Amino acid sequence: MKLTFLGTSAGRPTKARNVTSIALSLPEPQHCFWLFDTGEGTQHRLLGSKLKLNKLERIFITHLHGDHLYGLPGLLTSRSYFEGAVPLQIYGPPGLQAFIDCVFHQSGVHLGYELSITEIVSGQIVTDDFFTVEAAELEHRMQCFGYRVTEHSQPGKLNLPLLKTLGVPSGPMYGKLKQGEDVTLPSGEMIRSSDVVGPPVAGRIITILGDTRPCENAITLSKDADLIVHEGTFAGGMEEKAAAYGHSTVLQAAETAAKANVKQLVMTHFSSRFDDAAIELLVQDAKEIFANVSAAHDYLEINVDRVTSETD
């Protein structure tokens, strides 16, 4: 799984940073990606990446502020020009359907692919063979959600030397054992899956939070995650201003990461008042609270690898 940051500025773009959008590339066999927010210019940022719109499968909108949403109509329209575009599903707060309907009606849009829009409430919103996505409301100036993406655990590794010793022929029996089924050899001997398959490999957890003040739901969504993305709009010492605008400081983002026991924190959504040098200083301040923290920049790519046991 890989995150690609397509926009990392708060409120308005700068010369170096576009407004908010994050892509999550999924592992095989999906061969697709998801988007979290689509600030104005997101499709332009995609042109500078390896991501193709016909491989976009889902979009998750945190809230309806323009710096998280205004790129959506253009992106959806342009996607019709890509051959082989798979059906696209969009999830977001109430009002999203009306926004899209209004823009499409007034501009006469006709899409060349299947589009569905789901206006969400807190709870589980997506589940398939590989992932579950949960949403919860955060604390912002308007209704805003955070998303927790949980990869399902994978079967453990086959003990190939032991299988050879036991005389298990390679082929379908291997597959059954790996999926947890016991098998019987031609000799009548039963081979138990639990004896020849290692422990399951835990799935990865990635949490992407929308704009928010510090709140309990941010901690709950982030609990024990491999990586969380948290806004860092303001510097430490600006807590009063952050609260007034429904945002967090970098120190508050670090506190959330620490309380949630996450492995890695990536901060984004920086106020345009901060240049890259200033943001680096903000990161150093946050490290006093949570060590494994970094600042996102446009086109930053972060791989989130599976954690496997030492015996695998």
Predicted local distance difference test score (pLDDT) of residue 308: 58
Look up the CATH number of the domain holding residue 143: 3.60.15.10
Predicted local distance difference test score (pLDDT) of residue 199: 85
| 292, 167: one domain | no
| 229, 190: one domain | no
| 31, 83: one domain | yes
Domain that residue 295 falls in: 2-154+201-303
In a domain, 85, yes or no: yes
Number of domains forming the structure of the chain: 2
Residue closest to 123 by CA, chosen among 141, 142, 147, 139: 147
Predicted local distance difference test score (pLDDT) of residue 222: 98
152 is in an annotated binding site: no
Residue closest to 248 by CA, chosen among 146, 113, 172, 151: 146
Q: What is the pLDDT of residues 139-183, one digit of tens each?
A: 999 999 999 999 998 888 888 999 988 989 988 888 888 888 899
| 173, 131: one domain | no
| 129, 22: one domain | yes
In a domain, 87, yes or no: yes
Predicted local distance difference test score (pLDDT) of residue 311: 38
Phi, psi of 126 (to 5 degrees): -140, 135
63 is in an annotated binding site: yes
- Exposed, middle or buried, 132 (CB in 10 Å: 0-12/13-18/19+)? middle
Q: Is 67 a catalytic residue?
A: yes
Predicted local distance difference test score (pLDDT) of residue 155: 80
Structure tokens at 60: 């998750």
| 166, 146: one domain | no
Q: Which of the four pLDDT bands, split at 50, 70 and 90, describes residue 31?
A: confident
110 is in an annotated binding site: no
Q: What is the pLDDT of residues 237-268, one digit of tens each?
A: 999 999 999 999 999 999 999 999 999 999 99
Which of these is catalytic: 37, 67, 226, 298? Answer: 67
| 80, 106: one domain | yes
| 62, 190: one domain | no
